[in-house]
Structure 1
Amino acid sequence: MALQVGIVGGGQLARMMIAPAVELGIDVRVLAEQDGMSAALAATDVGDYRDVETVMAFARDVDVITFDHEHVPQDVLRALVEAGVAVHPGPDALFYAQDKLRMRAKLAELGMPQPDWAPVADAASLDSFIAAHGGRAVVKTPRGGYDGKGVRVVAAASDAADWLDALEDGGELLVEELVDFTRELAQQVARRPSGELVVYPVVETVQKDGVCAEAIAPAPHSAGRLADVAGDIGEAIAVGLGVTGMLAVELFETTDERLLVNELAMRPHNSGHWTQDGAITSQFEQHLRAVLDLPLGDTALRAPWAVMVNILGGPTDGTLSERLPAALEAHPSAKVHTYGKDPRPGRKVGHVTVAGDDLAAVCYEARGAASFFTD
């Protein structure tokens, strides 16, 4: 009987696990939030991932439960574990991906390099932090933020007054120093329950309006010390937090040549989409291997360079499918991945990957192919 993986969440990350699962002979089942989501091909169930009974029923006949996102509540996760269901990553690890304040405290405990930060619950504390850090800072909601949501650059507490006013008793916001960085990087690692761990090449990411627009693998000028330090940080966090499956560590490279941890994601991640066509083992196959405790795959690049360009928003007139023939004809080396989503401003509706020997040529092909799908 085939191994069975249950994925909670029906987005594009679940969708992109389907193909490697088929190739490995793994049966994938998806609990989607609603009909018609990206992973509809494997959506055996539709229901509320916040409801214990719904998730328990979904988990009844699978070998392991994993996730398309980190939003499943702790009480649901712990009910699964108490019922003897294998959950990867587990609730103890996901706890730190779900709450940025807890993440910062745990990373400090592990000695990981990160921006100066503090919990704040009132305007006076926030203004004090801002004054001590050059007159500007970054405020984040501890839970629920992604792709630039739940993040603000502020110059005074009044810039976050609505968030402060909305805090419940005992609630806090996270404030961080505004880091002077030269570029953003991402380090991916995979770890299986029995302890095996592999590290991918560190990549450079380019952000647009708080959303990842491009990823370049490996990050230019990263060979040697930078790659070693990024890999060590990723490995230490994976082990220290007990992560099983894929882990993405988003990093700042500062103007004084330090690496600081920005965010964590305990699942396949946008910064790793290049691996589909640029690495020997894609992050999606690797995640399935890891959560099933199978031997992990080679993380080396298939070519000297790989570039991923997101398709953001999509066309304002027509569909992605209508644009596909022209893109493929103009850029035959490009691999186009679409998510089955309707176009909407700022929405991730697909991505393009290209691998090759010359970085400039690879970037040109990937950006050129992606441009066919936006207006």
Structure 2
Amino acid sequence: MSTIVGVIGGGQLARMMIPAAVNLGLDLRVLAEADGMSAALAAVSVGDYRDLDTVLAFADTVDVITFDHEHVPQAVLRELVARGVSVHPGPDALLYAQDKLLMRERLTELGLPVPDWARVQDADELAAFLADHGGRAVVKTARGGYDGKGVRVVQHAHEADDWFLALAEDGNAGALLVEELVDFRRELAQVVARRPSGEIAIWPVVETVQLDGVCAEVIAPAPKSAGRLSDVAADIAERVAEGIGVTGVLAVELFETTDGRLLVNELAMRPHNSGHWSIDGAVTSQFEQHLRAVLDLPLGGTGLREPWSVMVNVLGGPAEGSMADRYPAAFAEQPLVKVHNYGKDPRPGRKIGHVTASGADLDSVTYQARATAAFFQD
């Protein structure tokens, strides 16, 4: 009888765990938020991940619980653990992916490099931070933001009044996170995996290219990263993983500043967009590695299959039809590029798939990946 892995969340990350589970002979089951989601192939339940009874009923059918996203409430997670369910990553780690203020506090306690930051509860506190940081800063909601949502660059304290008002109306004594506006050269991501027994595997650090707050491209490895930069990025991610007790895949998003420092921007405790290239470009994909990690199996190699891999997201998709309608032209023009379709309906700005090209020449694989993605976008 095979081990049963339960994934809460029916998005594309759960979908991309399915082939890895099949290859490992695992039974993967998904609790999806709605019918017809990306991971519908493995969805055995549809329900609200915030509802304790729904999640407990799902947990009774699996051997271990993991996640497509970090939004399951702490109360639900802790009840699962109290009942003896194997949950990876656990609530004590996920807490820092769910709340950006707690994340900043913990990273600061661990002595890890982060942007200058503060907790602000009203416009006066925000004004004071702005005055100390050149009149511009980044304001973030502590919870719920992703892909550029819940993030604003502000120059005046009252530009966040609606967020302060929302906190007050909720009767929430919470606060916003404000950070210095970092002068960075580029954005990087370091993806690692850690199993409960402590083994850690680290992929090469990658460069990410953002478009309107959404990851558009990933280059693996990050150009000109060999040596010190690669070592520092790996050390930071390893210290994060051990310091907060992550099990499974962890992505540490980084700023490389204009003066050569690395600062931690965000954390994701699950497979991450910056690691999708590994499906085709690494010895072990982040999805297989995540399954190995949550089952406490020895981790796989993370070396590159080719000197370079470039992943480009398909954002929005074709104005008419689906990605599959464009396959004949795309495959004929770019036979060396791998296409991953998330099974989503096209919609402006939506991630509906990605493509990955790998090879010995960075310029060539970048062109191949971009050209292929272009077939699926109008």
> What range is the shorter-chain TM-score in?
over 0.9
Aligned to 2:336: 333
AA matched with 2:94? L
Aligned to 2:96: 96
CA offset at residue 167 of structure 1?
1.3
Structure 2 residue 315 is matched with structure 1 residue 312: yes
Could you tell me how far apart the structure 2 residues matched to 1:209 and 1:64 are? Answer: 36
Aligned to 2:9: 9
Structure 2 residue 261 is matched with structure 1 residue 258: yes
Could you tell me how far apart the structure 1 residues matched to 2:377 and 2:159 are? Answer: 33
CA offset at residue 70 of structure 1?
0.1
Could you tell me how far apart the structure 2 residues matched to 1:338 and 1:178 are? Answer: 35
Match of 1:307, SS state, is strand
AA matched with 1:216? I
Summarize deviations over 1:320-368 as a string: whole Å, max 9, x none: 1101111111001100001010000000000000110000000000000
CA offset at residue 89 of structure 1?
0.1
Summarize deviations over 1:285-344 as a string: whole Å, max 9, x none: 000000011110000000000110000000112211101111111001100001010000
Match of 2:55, SS state, is helix
Equivalent position to 1:269, from 269, 272, 281: 272
AA matched with 1:163? W
Taking structure 2 as the reference length, the TM-score comes to: 0.99
| Stretch of structure 1 that moved more, 164-173 or 3-12 | 164-173
Equivalent position to 2:370, from 354, 367, 371: 367
Aligned to 1:177: 180
Could you tell me how far apart the structure 2 residues matched to 1:326 and 1:138 are? Answer: 43
Match of 1:368, SS state, is helix
Could you tell me how far apart the structure 2 residues matched to 1:324 and 1:292 are? Answer: 36
Equivalent position to 1:289, from 287, 292, 308: 292
CA offset at residue 61 of structure 1?
2.5
Taking structure 1 as the reference length, the TM-score comes to: 0.99
Could you tell me how far apart the structure 2 residues matched to 1:243 and 1:319 are? Answer: 37
Aligned to 2:244: 241
Could you tell me how far apart the structure 2 residues matched to 1:44 and 1:56 are? Answer: 14
Could you tell me how far apart the structure 2 residues matched to 1:51 and 1:165 are? Answer: 27
Match of 1:167, SS state, is helix
AA matched with 1:123? A
Aligned to 2:154: 154
AA matched with 1:267? R
CA offset at residue 131 of structure 1?
1.3
AA matched with 1:162? D
| Stretch of structure 1 that moved more, 126-135 or 184-193 | 126-135
| Stretch of structure 1 that moved more, 311-320 or 92-101 | 311-320
Summarize deviations over 1:39-90 as a string: whole Å, max 9, x none: 0000000001001110011011211100000000000000100000000000
AA matched with 1:12? Q
AA matched with 1:81? V
Structure 2 residue 206 is matched with structure 1 residue 203: yes
Aligned to 2:30: 30
Could you tell me how far apart the structure 2 residues matched to 1:79 and 1:328 are? Answer: 48
Structure 2 residue 257 is matched with structure 1 residue 219: no
Equivalent position to 2:283, from 280, 283, 287: 280
Could you tell me how far apart the structure 2 residues matched to 1:297 and 1:79 are? Answer: 32
Equivalent position to 1:353, from 345, 353, 356: 356
Aligned to 2:111: 111
Match of 1:44, SS state, is strand
AA matched with 2:181? L
Unaligned runs of 5+ in 1: none
Match of 2:252, SS state, is strand
AA matched with 2:324? S
CA offset at residue 165 of structure 1?
1.4
| Stretch of structure 1 that moved more, 302-311 or 164-173 | 164-173
AA matched with 2:77? L
Q: CA RMSD in A?
A: 0.6
Could you tell me how far apart the structure 2 residues matched to 1:319 and 1:191 are? Answer: 37
Could you tell me how far apart the structure 2 residues matched to 1:223 and 1:134 are? Answer: 34
CA offset at residue 370 of structure 1?
0.2
Match of 2:77, SS state, is helix
Aligned to 2:124: 124
Could you tell me how far apart the structure 2 residues matched to 1:99 and 1:48 are? Answer: 20
